[in-house]
Amino acid sequence: MTTTKLLFISIFALLLTSFYGAPLQAQNAMQSSGMDMKNMKSEMEQMRAQMEQIQTLMKDTMAKMAAADAAMKSHMETEQASMKSQMELQQAMINHLQTMTDHMQTHMQMMTDRMAMKPDPMDVHKKSGATKQKDKKMMDDQKK
Protein backbone atom coordinates (compact mmCIF):
# COMPACT_ATOMS: atom_id res chain seq x y z
CA MET A 1 0.00 0.00 0.00
CA THR A 2 2.76 2.43 0.74
CA THR A 3 4.26 2.10 -2.73
CA THR A 4 0.89 2.87 -4.23
CA LYS A 5 0.57 5.97 -2.06
CA LEU A 6 4.06 7.10 -3.05
CA LEU A 7 3.28 6.57 -6.70
CA PHE A 8 0.01 8.48 -6.39
CA ILE A 9 1.70 11.40 -4.61
CA SER A 10 4.52 11.62 -7.21
CA ILE A 11 2.01 11.65 -10.08
CA PHE A 12 -0.04 14.32 -8.29
CA ALA A 13 3.11 16.41 -7.80
CA LEU A 14 3.99 16.19 -11.47
CA LEU A 15 0.50 17.25 -12.47
CA LEU A 16 0.62 20.26 -10.16
CA THR A 17 4.02 21.28 -11.47
CA SER A 18 2.93 21.08 -15.08
CA PHE A 19 -0.33 22.89 -14.32
CA TYR A 20 1.36 25.78 -12.57
CA GLY A 21 4.37 25.78 -14.89
CA ALA A 22 2.34 26.36 -18.08
CA PRO A 23 1.11 29.86 -17.16
CA LEU A 24 4.69 30.90 -16.43
CA GLN A 25 5.78 29.83 -19.88
CA ALA A 26 2.87 31.72 -21.42
CA GLN A 27 3.86 34.87 -19.52
CA ASN A 28 7.44 34.57 -20.74
CA ALA A 29 6.22 34.09 -24.29
CA MET A 30 4.00 37.17 -24.06
CA GLN A 31 6.89 39.33 -22.91
CA SER A 32 9.09 38.40 -25.85
CA SER A 33 6.21 38.06 -28.31
CA GLY A 34 7.12 41.18 -30.26
CA MET A 35 10.48 39.77 -31.22
CA ASP A 36 9.19 36.24 -31.72
CA MET A 37 6.39 37.39 -34.04
CA LYS A 38 8.90 39.07 -36.33
CA ASN A 39 11.06 35.96 -36.29
CA MET A 40 8.06 33.78 -36.98
CA LYS A 41 6.99 35.95 -39.92
CA SER A 42 10.44 35.82 -41.47
CA GLU A 43 10.60 32.07 -40.90
CA MET A 44 7.17 31.70 -42.50
CA GLU A 45 8.34 33.71 -45.52
CA GLN A 46 11.43 31.54 -45.81
CA MET A 47 9.32 28.42 -45.59
CA ARG A 48 6.98 29.72 -48.30
CA ALA A 49 9.94 30.49 -50.55
CA GLN A 50 11.36 27.03 -49.94
CA MET A 51 7.99 25.44 -50.67
CA GLU A 52 7.72 27.35 -53.94
CA GLN A 53 11.23 26.22 -54.92
CA ILE A 54 10.36 22.63 -54.08
CA GLN A 55 7.16 22.84 -56.12
CA THR A 56 9.06 24.32 -59.07
CA LEU A 57 11.67 21.57 -58.85
CA MET A 58 8.96 18.95 -58.65
CA LYS A 59 7.19 20.36 -61.72
CA ASP A 60 10.46 20.42 -63.65
CA THR A 61 11.25 16.88 -62.59
CA MET A 62 7.79 15.67 -63.58
CA ALA A 63 8.10 17.35 -66.99
CA LYS A 64 11.52 15.75 -67.53
CA MET A 65 10.17 12.37 -66.51
CA ALA A 66 7.24 12.71 -68.90
CA ALA A 67 9.63 13.63 -71.73
CA ALA A 68 11.88 10.69 -70.87
CA ASP A 69 8.88 8.35 -70.85
CA ALA A 70 7.75 9.63 -74.25
CA ALA A 71 11.25 9.19 -75.68
CA MET A 72 11.50 5.68 -74.25
CA LYS A 73 8.10 4.75 -75.68
CA SER A 74 9.11 6.07 -79.10
CA HIS A 75 12.39 4.17 -78.95
CA MET A 76 10.65 0.96 -77.97
CA GLU A 77 8.12 1.33 -80.81
CA THR A 78 10.96 1.90 -83.27
CA GLU A 79 12.81 -1.16 -81.99
CA GLN A 80 9.65 -3.24 -82.23
CA ALA A 81 9.01 -2.11 -85.81
CA SER A 82 12.62 -2.88 -86.72
CA MET A 83 12.38 -6.36 -85.26
CA LYS A 84 9.11 -6.99 -87.08
CA SER A 85 10.63 -5.85 -90.36
CA GLN A 86 13.68 -8.03 -89.81
CA MET A 87 11.49 -11.05 -89.07
CA GLU A 88 9.43 -10.41 -92.22
CA LEU A 89 12.63 -10.19 -94.29
CA GLN A 90 13.90 -13.45 -92.81
CA GLN A 91 10.56 -15.13 -93.53
CA ALA A 92 10.67 -13.86 -97.14
CA MET A 93 14.19 -15.26 -97.53
CA ILE A 94 13.10 -18.61 -96.12
CA ASN A 95 10.11 -18.69 -98.48
CA HIS A 96 12.34 -17.85 -101.45
CA LEU A 97 14.84 -20.56 -100.54
CA GLN A 98 12.00 -23.06 -100.13
CA THR A 99 10.66 -22.13 -103.57
CA MET A 100 14.12 -22.57 -105.09
CA THR A 101 14.51 -25.93 -103.37
CA ASP A 102 11.11 -27.08 -104.63
CA HIS A 103 12.00 -25.92 -108.15
CA MET A 104 15.30 -27.79 -108.07
CA GLN A 105 13.61 -30.94 -106.77
CA THR A 106 11.05 -30.74 -109.59
CA HIS A 107 13.80 -30.43 -112.20
CA MET A 108 15.74 -33.28 -110.63
CA GLN A 109 12.61 -35.46 -110.72
CA MET A 110 11.99 -34.54 -114.35
CA MET A 111 15.57 -35.42 -115.26
CA THR A 112 15.30 -38.70 -113.39
CA ASP A 113 12.07 -39.51 -115.21
CA ARG A 114 13.65 -38.72 -118.60
CA MET A 115 16.66 -40.83 -117.81
CA ALA A 116 14.39 -43.72 -116.90
CA MET A 117 12.50 -43.35 -120.19
CA LYS A 118 15.61 -43.22 -122.41
CA PRO A 119 17.33 -46.47 -123.21
CA ASP A 120 20.78 -47.06 -121.84
CA PRO A 121 23.47 -46.07 -124.41
CA MET A 122 25.04 -49.51 -124.07
CA ASP A 123 21.71 -51.12 -124.87
CA VAL A 124 21.34 -48.91 -127.96
CA HIS A 125 24.68 -50.09 -129.36
CA LYS A 126 23.87 -53.71 -128.67
CA LYS A 127 20.46 -53.40 -130.27
CA SER A 128 21.80 -51.53 -133.23
CA GLY A 129 24.46 -54.20 -133.76
CA ALA A 130 21.88 -56.96 -133.62
CA THR A 131 19.61 -55.01 -135.91
CA LYS A 132 22.43 -54.58 -138.40
CA GLN A 133 23.08 -58.31 -138.47
CA LYS A 134 19.41 -59.02 -139.02
CA ASP A 135 19.34 -56.45 -141.78
CA LYS A 136 22.40 -58.06 -143.44
CA LYS A 137 20.81 -61.49 -143.32
CA MET A 138 17.65 -60.15 -144.80
CA MET A 139 19.62 -58.42 -147.54
CA ASP A 140 21.61 -61.54 -148.24
CA ASP A 141 18.45 -63.61 -148.34
CA GLN A 142 16.91 -61.20 -150.78
CA LYS A 143 19.98 -61.33 -153.08
CA LYS A 144 19.90 -65.07 -153.33
pLDDT digits (tens, 9 = 90+) for 55-74: 999 999 999 999 999 999 99
| Distance of alpha carbon 131 from alpha carbon 124, whole angstroms | 10
- Residue 83's pLDDT band, with cuts at 50, 70 and 90, is very high
pLDDT digits (tens, 9 = 90+) for 10-50: 776 776 666 565 555 555 555 555 668 888 889 999 999 99
Whole-number Cα distances in Å, 43 to 26, 50, 85: 21, 10, 62
pTM, full prediction: 0.42
